[in-house]
Every structure is written in structure tokens, then in C-alpha cells.
Structure 1
Amino acid sequence: MTRHVDVLIIGAGLSGIGMACHLTREKTGRSYLILERRTAIGGTWDLFKYPGIRSDSDMYTFGYGFRPWHGTKVLADGPRIRQYIEDTAAEYGVTDHIRFGRKVTKTSWTSDEGGWTVEVLDERTGKTETYTSDFLIGCTGYYDYDNGYRPRFPGEENFGGQIVHPQHWPEDLDYRGKRVVVIGSGATAITLIPAMSTDAAHVTMLQRSPTYIAALPADDPVAVGFKFAKVPAAIAYKAGRARNIALQRASYQLSRTNPKLSAKLMLAAVRAQVGPDIDMKHFTPNYNPWDQRLCVVPNGDLFRVLRRGEASIVTDTIETFTEKGIRLSSGEELEADIVVSATGLTVQMLGGAQLEVDGQTLATRDLVAYKGALLGTVPNMMVILGYTNASWTLKADLAAEYFCRLLNHMRDNGYTEVVAIPEEGDRSEASLMGGALTSGYIQRGDGVMPRQGTRGPWQVVNNYFRDRALLRKAPLEDGILRFRRTTRKTAPVTAETRSA
């Protein structure tokens, strides 16, 4: 059976739920469905279950702009974020529009038919389903849910303990009284260290190279003040959000214009946190601030367990695993019962689905992004990717608003098709995120990510204030977007009548 909707959304995580809510809020009048491979709402926040999982952006900006996050915590834990997304879906009537357990395998645009045909596997029954739509929106993020990045370590077959990856945390993993080594220096590693040190005999953070780390208060003092003064929640959220957006931008801008000063300030703050007995080589990266994403720790929890000796940090490379642990290139051996490979993500677009236009399979790497949202030469499609230097949701909200502007403009003018057409020289060789960050997962994903543009709306600059004007206010008919009036030739078997 073929089902038809106006808008088909892939993914019921933070971006997908937000997109669906905007379809209703912006009064698009479009019917929609969300195809979600998992059995619950939440995306990342339903998948990851490792100890201490939390946001790495403040909740004033990580929450949706249209639905305040209530609470004073700067960073929120995974279960609360997932609940927030679920509650948002319920409030806007999105939940009934979700089809769970559906893995999208192929997306095909046909110009003659004027629409998308999407092939889907129902993973519960093993049956294939077909959906058609006028518009397609990819809200799957940019990583492979099945496979985290897990390098093969020399000699690991000799290790007598257990090796786990945070992306697929064993529910029955008992690390009480165990010696744990966490390999990695990113957001996941610095979250795991303090969370596991409470019950583990000892936790060692093994990093190849350091990362910039900043301590934030666990509770936002301004949010606490607003709550004490009984400021209405909506006003407090709006004010706190504006402040944090400005602070994020100022911090990032300082790192770009005066990286030496930015690094000096960050490292001085770390020294104040860790005390005089810990070698600063473990916290002094060989790159400038924000060349890779900044890691944050609430109330300096990582630094606290290091000071107390409940955890330690080692900067070295792995020579080989041994029966009892890991032997380093320096000759030191770290004994371990459990090794956590917090080594990052495997980049993937559209959840691994094939993308096809008029019978031709397209590689996302060959495409260039328009306004960081549409894909050049691909009609009636948007892919939502959040910021790398600020909260993901800030960009996701803007992109969703922009697409709703497009939908309403097309409805009001009788258009049925829109496509961004790049000119020669608009596409650069840098990936959409590679121009901003040098993180390992971004370098590994270069063969998958769409390309960065060289100029104008093709160029992604990761600047909320610029994007806010570009996506909310800039003219839609700019000579780059081509609009057409066509008639869909094939009649769908079953049409969804519920509209946003």
C-alpha cells in the first residue's frame, strides 16, 4: 500500500519533532508524517544511555525557541531532554503523525511525477512499505546509529576484560569496584569520567591529545534569580536565551579574532580548577580554541574527581592491549577491568538511505548546501543540520521556520516545485562542517557530508545572527531558487488528510 502526504519527515529526534511543530505553528496547512526507525521519540537522546549523558549546550539555547525549557540547570541530562522532546510532540499533536520502526532505505524524486517516492522497511514485520510526498525533509542528524567509530586496537584480542562503546552501552554493565580506562577526550569521555568514578575503583582518562574544557555552573545564576523574583517563565526564557546566544557568539568570535588570548583565558580557568598538582600538558591542546568543539563540565565535575584522586588523566598513545590492560608508547601499563572506547561517531547522511533524482543516484558529498538547509539541484528537499559552534537547535529552528516560509510562499503563488541551482564556482572542496571544525569525526566524514559553498547563501558561516536575517527575512525569490508550477501525475493510493 502506498501512502501519500504533503511533507514527509525522516527522524523523530530533536530536529524532526521541531520541524513538525513548525509546520503547525506557521499555519502551512500541509499534511505530514514522520518516519522514525527507533520505537520511541528522541533520536540521540533515546539512543545513548551511558552514565551521566547530558547536553553539551546550555538549555536556554538547546531548547526550542517556541517552547521554553523550564528549569535552572545549565546542562540537562539525557532522560530529561528526551522527555522534553516527547512532551513537545504531545503538546503540538505530533505523536499521532509518527510511524515508528520504519527504516528509510531509498528516497527518489521523479520530475515527471512531481514528487518523492520513499521506500521503507518495517523492521518489526520485515515488510517493505512505500510512501509518496511533495516534500522531503531529512532530520536524521549526521551520524550512523548502528555503528559508532570504534578503531581496532592492536592486541585487543588478548585483553581479559570488557571493551564497550558508549553508543551501545550494555544495560547490565557492572563497573562497581572495577578499574576503568576511558579512551578519548571529547564530550562523551569527560562526561563518563566523573559519572563512573562514584562507583568504580578508579577511572583513567586516556587521551591521545588534549581538548579545551570549560567549567560552567550547574545552575544558571540568572535563571535562579528569575525564578526567585517570580519572573514569568516565558519572559525569563526569552531573556536568558538572548543572553546566552550573545555570550556564545562573543566567545566564539574572540577565539577567531584573538586565539592566543582566548586560549590563555581558558587555560587559566582550568589551572584554577585543577590546582597546582596536575600537569597542564593534559589540558593544553595543539590547536586554537574552537578549531574543535569546546567541551564543558558543570561545576567543574571532571576537575573535582581529578583533584580528589578518584580519576586520573594520561596523555599518550596505545602501543598494544595486554591481558591486564593497555601498554602505552611510553612503556607505562594501565591495568583495567573495563575499557570504554569513547572514540566518536561514524558520519552518515539521511540515516544511510539512498538519494536519487530522476533515476540518478546522488552522493551527498557531490552536493552543495544552500543556506545550510537545501541541497543544490535536489527539488523540494531540505536537510536539517544544527550548528557546530553553538546549540544545534538554534539552527534547526531557523531552518524549519525557513522551510515553512517556502511552503507558504509556494502555496500563495501556486508553485509546486522549488530547487536551488548553483553556478560554476559556488561549490568548494570543504565539507559543510569541515570549514569550521577539524574534529576527527568531521575529517572522517568528509566523504559523506555535503560541500560548503564559496559565496553568498551557499556559504555556511555558523553565525546565528547572520542566519536569522538570511532565513527569516531575505527574499525567497533571489534568482538562485527556481520555482515551478507542475501537476502530480500519479494518484496516490491512500492520502493522509490530517494537516498541520
Structure 2
Amino acid sequence: MDIELQRDPQPLVQDWLSDLNAALEARDLSRLAALFRPDADWRDIVALTGSIETVSDRAAITGRLVEAVAAAGARNFAIDTERSPPRDVERAGEACVESILTFTTAVGTGAGVVRLKRADCRAGEAMAWTLLTSLESLHGHDEETVLAHAEEPAFDRDFHGPNWLDRRQESSRYADRDPTVLIVGGGHAGITAAARLKALGVDALIVDRMARIGDNWRKRYHGLKLHNQKHSNHFPYLPFPKTWPKYIPKDKIANWLESYVETMEIDFWTGTSFTGATWDAGERRWTVELDMDVAGGVHRTLHPRHIVMATSVSGTPNIPEIPSLERFEGTVVHSSRFASGADWKGRPVYVFGTGTSAHDIAQDLHGNGAHVTLVQRSPTLIVNVEPGAQLYDGIYYGKGPTLEDRDLVNASMPLRVMKKAHRILTDQARAHDAPLLDALERVGFRLEFGEDGTGWPLKYRSRGGGYYFNVGASDLVAKGEIGLIQYDDIADFTATGFTMKDGSDRAADLIVLATGYKGQDHLVEQLFGTEIARKVGAIWGFDERTQELRNMWIPTAQPGLWFQGGSFAQCRIYSKYLALQILAAEIHRD
């Protein structure tokens, strides 16, 4: 075997870092270029560029990295000896050495990940395939320092004055101050953002229109569970108990949100509707209008300097224009308002859509004895919940690095490497699922497997849906126990159902529109007006220039307006960077 292939990961990385530091200090572009593969990717999360962006290919990386390092005052790139050591791994089908790094900048400390392909080490001059640089903390404002300053003296007792609970309740009323940050939306996105901000000493208040914390999960359809396992879904600071089931039921999630808010001492106003806000450029703050559903109704006006929209990437029901549906005299309900199939036993029901909600609702209806049929509007990605759907979360399974290290490795995957990895995983999932997929196609179900065969995770990042993790509904469709028709075969709706293009009539008592949700773009125009919506632009989905999700977790073109959303893992990971940027803005406000 080639001697270079036998070298331990540690010295390989150390040699590469020594050359990196020297090249950056000398601003030697040619020497720096030699340290990266021609097809390398560098992803930065706030640390050097002040944003989240990915730069691809050697020539582009070299120039941008030298400029960014100089501007950020970055130096002393080294192996982080406090975290997982350099190791051999396989990423996107490639044997690599992967190492977690540390470095410093003018404003804080950074964390990074470098990957060297083992195949490139034969010549003894390793080249980086991928590099991540991310902001870890701000000087003097790390979480441990903030906590130490916030702690009360151990024996500070005032038996006749307000105790901890009194102070906590009084503080959460915001009677004598405005929150620095107002978070709109009290699901996992808003709560993780608030937890991160509190840990950094930034005053944040969540407002949510639901009557009880967790109701955005508690009030969803009866049989709902998470479709990926708990290992990837933990919250910051407080992981789920080991005794919890792999797939967490909705009510357990709802109760967890409620207990987490209490445990983390997060300020949260329930029954509170955010009705709009205007920006005062001179004062650099918002004027926010809130309606609170308490006895008699209360209106509050607040003046936060930052608003974080955490209303989910799929928060507003999408009810499409369906020609002639108004003729139908039966019940029509969007999936967000569907509770249970118990009332529809023995009755004909049609569920429009073939994504996750559509299949789950159809399975619920079938289990309750309804005669249910799916109406397919577009091709859909189907993958068995095990093992196929879980393959993409493989980094979170098994013994090994801490959750924080796994999150950093997860964040270190640039888009085109992620696509390569996901094509491999999608091919594996399709091979596992071939019998089911063949059976679905035989009954006329139209399948697809994501852009260029990259599977469900990138569909979620692009459009927020369009797939189903099979937990039984697809088997019922394949066997004909849940019916299937194509939307394009419907001619017109009638008072009692609809007529097909072949002339046959279909009776229906209930139509469920599992037609997805509108993105956050919709709410921005509704709540902030057309001018701000136009200034901010599109939210979610990939920006071709930066190769990142648009307007997520970074400053937008509208000062003081931020967006947080995504999966449990995305919110856990990126809430950290969101909070750090808001803290930095506050530190430098004056």
C-alpha cells in the first residue's frame, strides 16, 4: 500500500493547516491554490463573510478566502483538540480524512471542518475537498460568560421581597420595557431561536396566536408522528430523554415544547396575534401591533429592534383555485384543519394531494372505515420510512461524536457535495423500496425522486414538500384498499361529488385539500406591506449565487427582519448563528 495512504489523519491535517496559515499570512494566492482541489467547495457561516455562502472551485475560493480572512482578522487555524479528533470517514462515496478545526477572528472564535480526499494524499501534498468556517462565539459574550454574569449569589435571600417566580412573572409582562427581539411563531423554530438568544443574554419574547404552547402540534391530525427518528431532532441544551420512542407522537412533541419553554425560562405570550409592523429608520426599531385574546381583548404596541419570523416554511394553508369546486355541497377542509377520520366511517372521502399529510390522513380515514381515495395532482416521491428515509440522517446514528460535533459536520456539507451524497442515498433507498415502487406504478401512481435523483431532503429545502415517508399508506394504495385517481381525469364538480372525463360520477361526502402551505413570502407582504416584501424578496429555496437558502438565518435587505425555520435539526443548528448575529448587531449598535 502507498505509504501516504497509511499516514494517520492527524499529521495529514496538521501539515495542511501549517501550509494554510502560512499562505494566508503571506497572502500568497498560488501557494493557497495548491491547498485546494480544482472542484473544492468552501462554505462560510458568518465567521469570515458575515453571511452564509458557499464558494466553489479553486480559483474562486482562493481570491475570496484571502479577502475574507483579511477582513475578518482570522488567524491560527488549528485542529480543535477539545473536539472529536481527525478521523477517516466516507462522505458522498469518497474516502476522506475529516477534521474539526478552531480559529480566531477579530470578533470571536470560529469552528470549522476540513475534508481531504484520501486519494489526493498519495502525492504527499493533501488538498482540501471541502472547507467549513463558522462563527462559534463572540469575544466576551460566550454562553458560559453570560450565564456566570446572570447567576444570583448563592445565599442572596430576601424572605419579604419578590422571589424567583415573582420576578420571572413580572419580567415576562414587559410592562416597563420592550423586548430586544420579538419572535413571531411559537413552534420549534421560534422556541429554539429564543433559547439561543437567552443563552447569549439577549432579551427575546415569543408571540403566538395559539391558546397553549404546543398547540401547533397538539391540534394537528390524530395519528401524526415525526417521520424521522429522535436522534436528529433534539433541541438545544436539552436532548430528548433516551426512554422516548424513535418516532415521537405529536402530543409528546407538544408537551415537550411547553415544558421546554418553562425549563428554559423563555418569555412566551400565547393567544397573541401579530397584526403588523412598521420600521422606523431613524430610531432603528419596529412599531409592532399585537392583539391578545384575553378577557375583553387587549392591544399592545411594542418597539423591538429585531423581529424574527418563525412562522415555519409552511405556515399558511395553500388553498388552490380548483375550478367548479364551489358547486360541491359537501364538506371541504384543508389538511391543517382535519382532526380525525372517526366521523367518516362508511362514507366516501377524497383527499387531494399525495404528500405526507395526504397519505397520513388517508390512512387515518381508512383505519376508521371510510371509503377513501387519493387524488394525485403531480408526481410524488415515495420512500419507506425505514430504512430509506433514515439513510439521509446517518450522521446522527450510532456511537461517536457529540451532537454538537455532528451538527458541525452536518453544516459543513456544501450543496454540490450534498447532492452527490443524496443521489447515492436515493439510489440505495430505491433499491430497498423497489417492490413497493413497482406495485405503486402498477396501480397508476406517478413517481419521481427529486431533482436529478437527489431525494426528499433537497425537495424539502426547495419547496417544503412533495414526498411521503411510507408508514403503511402506500401499501394500502398499492393493494387498492385506498383508491387512487388522477386530478387531470376529473371533468367537473357537482353538488354531490364530481364527474370524471370518462363520464362516470363519483359521490363524495368529504373533500380534504392536502395541498400544502404557502411560504413565508406570503406573510411578509401581508404583515409588513408590499414595499418590504419586495425589498426582502424570495424566502426559502436555493439562491443560485450563494448556493444557500434564501434569506434564512442572515440579515435581510430589511434591517431588523430575520427568518428562522426548517426541520428540527435545521432550527437547532442555525438558531445558534442567528442568535450570534443579532447579538453582534446589538453590541455594535452604538
For normalisation by structure 2, the TM-score amounts to 0.56
Aligned to 1:78: 250
Counterpart check, 1:354 vs 2:527: yes
Whether the 8 Å CA contact 1:2–1:132 is kept in 2: the answer is no
Query: For the structure 1 residues 155 and 310, does the alpha-carbon distance in structure 2 shift closer, same or farther, using more than 3 Å as the test?
Result: same
Aligned counterpart in structure 2 of residue 329 of structure 1, from 501, 504, 512: 501
Q: How big is the shift at 1:394?
A: 2.6
C-alpha distance in 2 between matches for 1:265 and 1:214: 11
1:302-355 Cα deviation digits (max 9, x unpaired): 133235542122234221123442323344543332221111213344576633
Aligned to 2:564: 384
Aligned to 2:301: 130
Aligned to 1:415: 588
Aligned to 1:118: 288
Q: How big is the shift at 1:54?
A: 3.0
Whether the 8 Å CA contact 1:72–1:219 is kept in 2: the answer is no
Aligned to 2:578: 403
C-alpha distance in 2 between matches for 1:131 and 1:216: 45
Aligned to 2:185: 11
How many pairs were matched up?
A: 387
Q: Supply the AA of the counterpart residue of 1:292.
A: K
Query: For the structure 1 residues 316 and 287, does the alpha-carbon distance in structure 2 shift closer, same or farther, using more than 3 Å as the test?
Result: farther
Q: How big is the shift at 1:239?
A: 6.6
C-alpha distance in 2 between matches for 1:113 and 1:14: 31
Q: Supply the AA of the counterpart residue of 1:210.
A: P
C-alpha distance in 1 between matches for 2:450 and 2:264: 44
C-alpha distance in 2 between matches for 1:75 and 1:344: 22
Q: Supply the AA of the counterpart residue of 1:5.
A: P
Whether the 8 Å CA contact 1:316–1:330 is kept in 2: the answer is no
Q: What SS does structure 1 have at the residue aligned with 2:276?
A: strand
Aligned to 1:304: 475
Aligned to 1:452: none
Aligned to 2:374: 205
Aligned to 2:533: 363
Q: How big is the shift at 1:176?
A: 1.4
After TM superposition, list the pairs within 5 Å mapping 1:95-114 onto structure 2. 97-114=267-284
Aligned to 2:226: 55
Whether the 8 Å CA contact 1:107–1:119 is kept in 2: the answer is yes
C-alpha distance in 2 between matches for 1:83 and 1:281: 41
C-alpha distance in 2 between matches for 1:88 and 1:181: 38
Q: How big is the shift at 1:258?
A: 8.6
Counterpart check, 1:315 vs 2:315: no
Whether the 8 Å CA contact 1:179–1:200 is kept in 2: the answer is no
After TM superposition, list the pairs within 5 Å mapping 1:157-196 onto structure 2. 157-169=326-338, 174-196=343-365
Q: How big is the shift at 1:377?
A: 3.5
Query: For the structure 1 residues 120 and 12, does the alpha-carbon distance in structure 2 shift closer, same or farther, using more than 3 Å as the test?
Result: same
Aligned to 2:260: 88
Query: For the structure 1 residues 380 and 340, does the alpha-carbon distance in structure 2 shift closer, same or farther, using more than 3 Å as the test?
Result: closer
Whether the 8 Å CA contact 2:381–2:450 is kept in 1: the answer is no
Whether the 8 Å CA contact 1:373–1:383 is kept in 2: the answer is yes
Identity, % of aligned positions: 20
After TM superposition, list the pairs within 5 Å mapping 1:452-471 onto structure 2. none
Whether the 8 Å CA contact 2:185–2:206 is kept in 1: the answer is yes
Q: What SS does structure 2 have at the residue aligned with 1:79?
A: helix
C-alpha distance in 1 between matches for 2:408 and 2:483: 32
C-alpha distance in 2 between matches for 1:331 and 1:251: 48
Rg (Cα) greater in structure: 2
Q: How big is the shift at 1:207?
A: 0.3
Q: What SS does structure 2 have at the residue aligned with 1:68?
A: coil
C-alpha distance in 2 between matches for 1:237 and 1:333: 59
After TM superposition, list the pairs within 5 Å mapping 1:274-313 onto structure 2. 276=439, 279=442, 281-285=444-448, 288=451, 289=453, 290=455, 292-293=459-460, 295-298=467-470, 300-313=471-484
C-alpha distance in 2 between matches for 1:245 and 1:112: 41
For normalisation by structure 1, the TM-score amounts to 0.65
Name the structure where helix makes up a greater proportion of residues.
Answer: 2
Whether the 8 Å CA contact 1:374–1:381 is kept in 2: the answer is no
Q: How big is the shift at 1:39?
A: 1.3
1:131-182 Cα deviation digits (max 9, x unpaired): 122332221224454xx22234344344353222111226797111222211
Q: Which moved more, 1:305-314 or 1:181-190?
A: 305-314
Q: How big is the shift at 1:17?
A: 1.0
Gaps of 5+ in 1: 223-230, 387-391, 417-484, 486-500
Whether the 8 Å CA contact 2:195–2:236 is kept in 1: the answer is no
Higher relative contact order (CA 8 A, sep 6+): 1
- RMSD between superposed Cα atoms in Å: 4.1
C-alpha distance in 1 between matches for 2:405 and 2:264: 22
C-alpha distance in 1 between matches for 2:408 and 2:468: 14
Query: For the structure 1 residues 135 and 165, does the alpha-carbon distance in structure 2 shift closer, same or farther, using more than 3 Å as the test?
Result: closer
Q: What SS does structure 1 have at the residue aligned with 2:207?
A: strand
1:110-148 Cα deviation digits (max 9, x unpaired): 233242321212244444311122332221224454xx2
Q: Supply the AA of the counterpart residue of 2:574.
A: A
After TM superposition, list the pairs within 5 Å mapping 1:216-231 onto structure 2. 216-217=385-386
C-alpha distance in 2 between matches for 1:410 and 1:250: 27
Aligned to 1:273: 436
C-alpha distance in 2 between matches for 1:409 and 1:286: 41
C-alpha distance in 2 between matches for 1:200 and 1:271: 29
Aligned to 1:495: none
Q: Which moved more, 1:317-326 or 1:187-196?
A: 317-326
1:404-459 Cα deviation digits (max 9, x unpaired): 32355456xx522xxxxxxxxxxxxxxxxxxxxxxxxxxxxxxxxxxxxxxxxxxx
